A and B are shown apart, each in its own frame.
Chain A
Amino acid sequence: MKTEQIHGRLTDLLSPAAMRWAEASCAAVAAHPPALFELSAVAGLRCGRAPLGCDLPDWTADDAVRALMLCSLPLDGPELVETVAAVYRQGDTLERRAVLRTLPLLAIGDEAVPLVRDALRTNDPRLIAVALGPYAAEQLDQRSWRDGVLKCLFMGVPLVAVAGLDRRSDPELIRMFRDYAAERAAAGRSVPTDLRILLDSQET
C-alpha cells in the first residue's frame, strides 16, 4: 500500500470539489502541521465514507483523506510521533481508526505501539480490527499480539482482519484457539467458521 495508490483511488471516487478540498488540506498540513487537528475532524463530513474497494478493502474515503493528511506532515522523529499520537488521542473513533490504518505508511518505527495497545484495550471492534493491521504485524510483541488476535475472536472480528496471521502464528496461539473452541463447544455455542477452518488446517 502506497500513498500514490490511495490518492489514485480517491481521485476516482470523490467529486472534484471534495478532491480539491482533500488536496488543499494536505497542502495546509504540510505548511502548518497544527492545521491537521481540525482538518482531520471534518474530513468525514467533507469527503464522505464511500468504500475504496478493490485493493484497499475496508478502507473508506474518510480514512484515505486522513491518511494522506498524516503523510503530509513535514515532521520526523519525536515531533512526528508526538503529533500522530495527539491526533489519535484527540480524535473520535473514526479519526483514531484512520491513524491506526496509516501507521505502516509513516516513518515512525515502533514508537506508535502505545497507540496500538490503546486501541486493543477498547471494546470497539472497528478499532481492534485495524489495530492488528500490518503495523502491529511488524511491531507488536508476540504476547500482546496473541491476546489481540484472541480478542478479535471474542468480539466477532473476522480473523482475515489480522495482518500476518500465518507468519506470526505459533504453537501457543494455536493452543489458545483450541481452548477457546473447546470452551465455546462446552457452552453449546457455535465455533466461528474462520476459526474452525484454521484449526482444521492445523490438523492436516
Chain B
Amino acid sequence: MRIFDPHIHMTSRTTGDYEEMNAAGVCAVVEPAFWLGQPRTSVGSFVDYFDSLIGWEPFRAAQFGITHHCALALNPKEANDPRCVGILDLLPRYLVKERVVAVGEIGYDAITADEDIAFAHQLEMAVEHELPALVHTPHRDKATGTRRTLDVVRESGIPPERVVVDHLNEMTVRMVVDSGCWAGFSIYPDTKMDEDRMVAILKEYGTDRTLVNSAADWGRSDPLKTRRVAEAMLTAGFIFDDVDKILWRNPRAFYGQSGRLDPLGFAADAFAGNSVHRGTPKRS
C-alpha cells in the first residue's frame, strides 16, 4: 500500500513518527504552514519556519524514505496579528521554490475582516503563481465559515479544481462538492472526522476530488490515520484500487497541478510501472 498524506505538520512530530509512517506505507507528505501552539510575534519567526519547511524538514523526511513537500502561507489566526502580517510581503519569494506545491493553509479562523484581507490576497498569489490552494475551514461556526469560504474562492477567480477546502464534515461536505472544489477531510482521534464516518461519506459521495489526511500536529492526533482509513475502506468493501485512488492518486493529482511534485522522490512509482529514473534531466 502506498500512501500520500496531503496535510500533516511534521515539524511537530518525532523521527519515531517518520519511521512508523514509512512502515505503514506513507511515501509522501505535504506539510502546510500553520500556527503553532505558541503564537508567533514577528516576521522573522515565519522566515525561520518557512526556511525549515523548504530545508531541514524535507531532509529529515528523506532519511526515512518519505518525500516531503510543503504549502506556505500566513495562517488565518495570525493574519489577525499586525506583528505577523508583514510575512505576506516575503511570501512571493517563497512561492517560487521547488518544494512548495501550494499556497496554504489560508481561510478563516475567527472570520474577521483581517482574515478576509489575508485570505483574498493569498488566493490572488495562488492565481499569479499558478499554484493550488489549501483552504482551512474554521472549527467554530464551521458551516457559516465554509459558505463564506466558498464565496471568497469564487470571487477570486481561481479555478475550483485548484482548491481543496479542508477539515470538512457531514455538515459541510455537500456545499464543497457542489462548488467544484476538492473536498478535504482530516481524521482525528477525538475531534474532526473519524475513519468510520469518513467511509460513510465516501460511500455517499464517491472517491472523486476527495483528499483524506491525518492533519497530525502538536495536539492529540495520529500520523497513521491515513492508514486507518485505508483499512476501514477495505473492511467496508471498497476495493484496493479505491484505496489507492483516495490515498495516492488523488493527492498526486491535486498537488501535481503545481508542476512541482518531485518525480525523483517518488520511488514508489517504480512499483506502478512508471519508470522515472533518478537524475534524468527534465525535457522542457
Contacts and interface: CB of A to CB of B under 8 A. Distances in A.
Task: Provide the main secondary structure of the chain A interface.
Answer: helix
Q: Bin the interface of chain B by size.
A: 10 to 19
A198 B98 CA distance: 40
A41 B96 contact: yes
Given A124-B56, A124-B59, A92 B283 contact: no
Nearest to A49: B279
A203 B58 CA distance: 42
A21 B58 CA distance: 27
A76 B259 CA distance: 36
Interface in A13-49: 13-15, 17-18, 21, 37-38, 41-42, 44-49
Contacts of B281: 13-15, 18, 47-50, 61
Given A45-B259, A93-B54, A15 B284 contact: yes
Task: Provide the main secondary structure of the chain B interface.
Answer: loop
A15 B280 CA distance: 11
B58 A93 contact: yes
B282 A45 contact: yes
B96 A93 contact: no
Given A17-B284, A18-B284, A48 B279 contact: yes
Contact of A50 (B58, B93, B260, B279): B279
A139 interface: no
A50 B280 contact: yes
Interface in B231-284: 259-260, 264, 279-284
A47 B56 contact: no
A90 interface: yes
B254 to A, nearest CB: 18
Nearest to A41: B96
B59 A92 contact: no
B279 A60 contact: yes
B99 interface: yes
Interface of B: 54-56, 58-59, 93, 96-99, 259-260, 264, 279-284
